[in-house]
Structure 1
Amino acid sequence: MNKPRNAWREPMVWMLIGLPLAMVAIGFALLFAAVDHAGPTADTPDRVTRLGHLQLTAEEAPQTRGSKPVTELILRHNGGMIEAVPTDARIARGGDLTVVLTAQDASAEVLTLHLKPSELGWRGAGVISDARNWRIEATSDRAPWRLQGQWPAEARFARLAP
């Protein structure tokens, strides 16, 4: 007479089992979509540069006693000459300066300039294209510092700082 119904035909069973299973499946689908579409920014970290002071290793620290670290450098070109002038006259200019310029366009051309000490700073022969934006890095062969900066297209000079 009263025949018992099958448990799978009861709506309460579907609410207690089916609804949580659907939520778990949707959660895994969202997790897969988030990991799959993270893009290149998750794989390549940003370059972080600390400003305001130089960080020296334990080996470099004794070499800098008594000399003031470089605070800023102005890089300018005039015809076929490149000149690097420090903003502080007390900076020791005894060694050669290596300046690496990397073009910020599709070609990514790299220019390496070796500048010799001069009366104002460093000077050397070189030609820089005014039609490109350049990323600059300058290092000295005698001091443990490295300065970086940008040279916008058609600019007359560039400022380099730690």
Structure 2
Amino acid sequence: MKTEQRSPWREPMVWLVAAIPALSFFAVGGLFWAASRAGGVDRVADRVERTGQIQVANTGPVEQAMQRGLKALIKWDGKRLEVYPASGTFDRSQNLILKLHHPVTADEDRSVSLIGTVHGWAAEVALPTGHDWLLELEPQDGSWRLEGRWPAGQQAALLAPSLAVAQ
């Protein structure tokens, strides 16, 4: 009895031998692409210097905010962003910069200049509310800095120094 010989292209094993490495190649390329587009997941986007396994960041602005006892409340009504001093002594003549960091995608980070008002600082801005924001508030000279997290859907958040007071 003579069996009819099939073409190698009709055999599933030939396709698996070729397809698995090809799909792996494209999957690794997709992972590299996604990793290059993602932002950091750090709570604060400080510039960090690395030497060996030691990471050094400038905590001077946060320490200055702690010494002055600064805290602020930020509110958003859908179109106007307002910052009110909650404690400490703020220099009301200085305009402030609010940095809003997307928790995952750095491309969606924003920076808003806040102009002094009678009760605090304000700016007109449109913000997406479908995700949390990591916040940094500082004067234009960068002498102090407050941080906080703004959960999705909330209209207000508290900003405070990120370091704990040493006992």
* TM-score normalized with structure 2 length: 0.54
Q: CA deviation at 1:47?
A: 9.0
Distance 1:135 1:54, change over 3 A: closer
Distance 1:48 1:144, change over 3 A: closer
- Counterpart check, 1:144 vs 2:143: yes
Distance 1:145 1:89 in 2: 12
CA RMSD of aligned residues (A): 3.2
Instruction: Tell me if structure 1 keeps the 8 A contact 2:69–2:88.
Output: no
Q: Which amino acid aligns with 2:111?
A: T
SS in 2 for 1:87: strand
- Counterpart check, 1:55 vs 2:55: no
Distance 1:133 1:71 in 2: 23
Alignment correspondent of 2:82: 83
The percentage of counterpart residues that share the same residue type is 21
Distance 1:49 1:158, change over 3 A: farther
Alignment correspondent of 1:4: none
Alignment correspondent of 1:158: 157
Instruction: Tell me if structure 1 keeps the 8 A contact 2:69–2:89.
Output: no
Q: Which amino acid aligns with 1:55?
A: E
- 1:87-126 deviations in Å (ceiling 9; x for gaps): 1385331111000101113465111100000011101111
- Counterpart check, 1:129 vs 2:128: yes
Q: Which amino acid aligns with 1:82?
A: L
Q: CA deviation at 1:161?
A: 0.5
SS in 1 for 2:75: strand
* TM-score normalized with structure 1 length: 0.56
**Between Structure 1 and Structure 2, how many residues are aligned?**
108
* Greater Rg by CA: 1
Give unmatched runs, 5+ long, in structure 2: 1-51, 162-167
Alignment correspondent of 1:95: 94
Alignment correspondent of 1:11: none
SS in 1 for 2:87: coil
Alignment correspondent of 1:30: none
Distance 2:56 2:70 in 1: 20
Instruction: Tell me if structure 1 keeps the 8 A contact 2:68–2:89.
Output: no
Distance 2:69 2:110 in 1: 23
Distance 2:75 2:53 in 1: 32
SS in 2 for 1:55: helix
